[in-house]
Structure 1
Amino acid sequence: MRSNMVKENKIFTIVILAIFISMFTVHSSYGNSAEPPSILIIVPNAPDDLEISVGTGDAFTEARETNKLIETHYTFYSREIRMVSDYTFTISTGNINYEIALEKPLKLYNNIYTLDLDAQTLTPGKLLSRSILLVSMRIILTLIIEGILFWQFGFRNKESWIAFLMINLVTQGALNIWINGFPPAQSYLVFSLIFAEIIIVIVEILSFLILVKEHSGPRKVSYALVANVLSLIAGGYIITMLPI
């Protein structure tokens, strides 16, 4: 009996390592994709009248706005700012108006900054607090959806629920940390998400068969398939509404 448990634990460890290796070695293809923004500025809880432009004098360009519920993205594309002589950003909202200058040269694409309106600063990249919040939100929502379904499939034992939490925290944690590594304006993330979900389905089927002793194998396989289809649908909707 003990040897069987050791063997199962080894298999589970190998499976978990496989998902990490697979997910963190996936390279996104940008062939035929929309042009990524040259500069993207994240503004948490941006006021409705906020405007951001770049350049001075006659050579300036206003940012395109994309609302993502808890934040707004202000984007500049390379073709639109090609004639801009310097990267001086003008931020205007209400009675507040100020400028922030960035040094050139920047990368051709995906220069990401976070604007602190009060401190009047542009910080390179995405804030760690933002990433933690978004990853946590997506994991919690997934646990709720798949937990309700887990109950509907008749799983009641405490040991089954411990296994459910352990499996999903590992798989969904890895998935959402991986998603967090994408630029906020990634247009084709949903296709990468489908590929990742296929890997997760395989991992979760094997994990539930090994770790959950309650009910038959076909029921556990059916649950894993249905749960991940629902998660994929929900996840695809979420990434169109919430920021990445």
Structure 2
Amino acid sequence: MIKRNSSLLCIILLILTTFTGANICLANAAEPPSIIIIVPNAPQDLEISIDNMQASRTEKAFESYFSFYSYSFQAVEYTLTVTDGSDVFEIELDSPLKEYNNIYTLDLDKRVLSEGESPSRDILLITIRIALTLLLEALVFFLFGYRQKISWIIFLTVNLVTQGVLFIWLNSLYTSPLSGDFYIILTMIFAEILIFIVEMTVFLIFIKEHRRLRTAGYVVVANLLSLILGGYLITVLPI
């Protein structure tokens, strides 16, 4: 019986990962700038320009984004001029530009421009989102009176998988840090509906500590609060 239930749990979670692996057309609804330069903890007077064209600056939490749009460019190779107060230096963009996302990360202290986003950045942001969501849902789970070890094992297993898949998927789907919050939240709502169905099914089948009505109530409340928290984190944390 235990073996059969474990197999069923694996199948349900596999279905979730399959569904969330699908692309949603809304992901490309907002075309990003041609060049985006991510600068962690950038000073307020930092400026970046290309051939006297000033980058537009956007702030989100501990990151600043300096963006240039495609219609601004004429040449094939570009030189970035970075101005930090009285300190000015230049960095060459060696690699050819892609049509849409050209994302770079600037290490201001080392004066090094790296193509793409730092892997440690992605890991940190995904971990923060999973940890905060897990803490919230764990609090709700506790308040609903669940104390048995097996209940918590099921809770942790299901939530680590569902939230991990959700945030890794969103991170891979929206590759631009300037992707519109509206589109990300809309995508997350779609994914949360799938997660709600999976969690309702799994918890009602496997958690026997309390009546099914209480378990269903927990799933509804936890997923609603998780959706609210997830939407808020999208607006305040980098993607």
Q: TM-score range by the shorter chain?
A: over 0.9
Q: Distance in 2 between matches of 1:28 and 1:47?
A: 36
AA of the residue aligned to 2:143: Q
Runs of 4 or more, structure 1, over 6 Å off, are none
1:91-117 CA distances to partner (integer Å, 9 max, x unpaired)? 111232111111363112111111011
AA of the residue aligned to 1:103: D
The aligned counterpart of 2:188 is: 193
Which segment is superposed worse, 131-140 or 67-76?
67-76
- Same amino acid, percent of matched pairs: 49
The aligned counterpart of 1:236 is: 231
AA of the residue aligned to 1:186: S
How many residue pairs get aligned? The number is: 235
1:63-96 CA distances to partner (integer Å, 9 max, x unpaired)? 11111111111111212x2345642111111232
Q: Distance in 1 between matches of 2:79 and 2:206?
A: 57
AA of the residue aligned to 1:52: I
Q: Does the Cα contact within 8 Å between 1:114 and 1:126 map onto a contact in 2?
A: yes
Q: Does the Cα contact within 8 Å between 2:24 and 2:187 map onto a contact in 1?
A: no
Q: Distance in 2 between matches of 1:30 and 1:163?
A: 32
Q: Does the Cα contact within 8 Å between 2:26 and 2:187 map onto a contact in 1?
A: no
Kindly report which structure 2 residues correspond to 1:1-244, keeping only aligned pairs within 5 A, or say none. Answer: 4-29=1-26, 33-54=29-50, 56=51, 60-79=52-71, 81-83=72-74, 86-103=77-94, 105-181=96-172, 182-183=174-175, 184-187=177-180, 188-244=183-239
Q: Distance in 2 between matches of 1:150 and 1:30?
A: 33
Q: Distance in 2 between matches of 1:166 and 1:180?
A: 21
Which structure is higher in helix share? 2
Q: Distance in 2 between matches of 1:76 and 1:239?
A: 23
Q: Distance in 1 between matches of 2:197 and 2:137?
A: 16
Q: Does the Cα contact within 8 Å between 2:39 and 2:63 map onto a contact in 1?
A: yes
- In structure 2, runs of 5+ residues without a counterpart are none
TM normalised by structure 1 equals: 0.91
AA of the residue aligned to 1:11: L
AA of the residue aligned to 2:206: L
Q: Distance in 2 between matches of 1:25 and 1:69?
A: 29
How much has 1:205 moved relative to structure 2? 1.0
Local SS of the residue matching 1:214: coil
Higher RCO, Cα 8 Å, sep 6+? 2
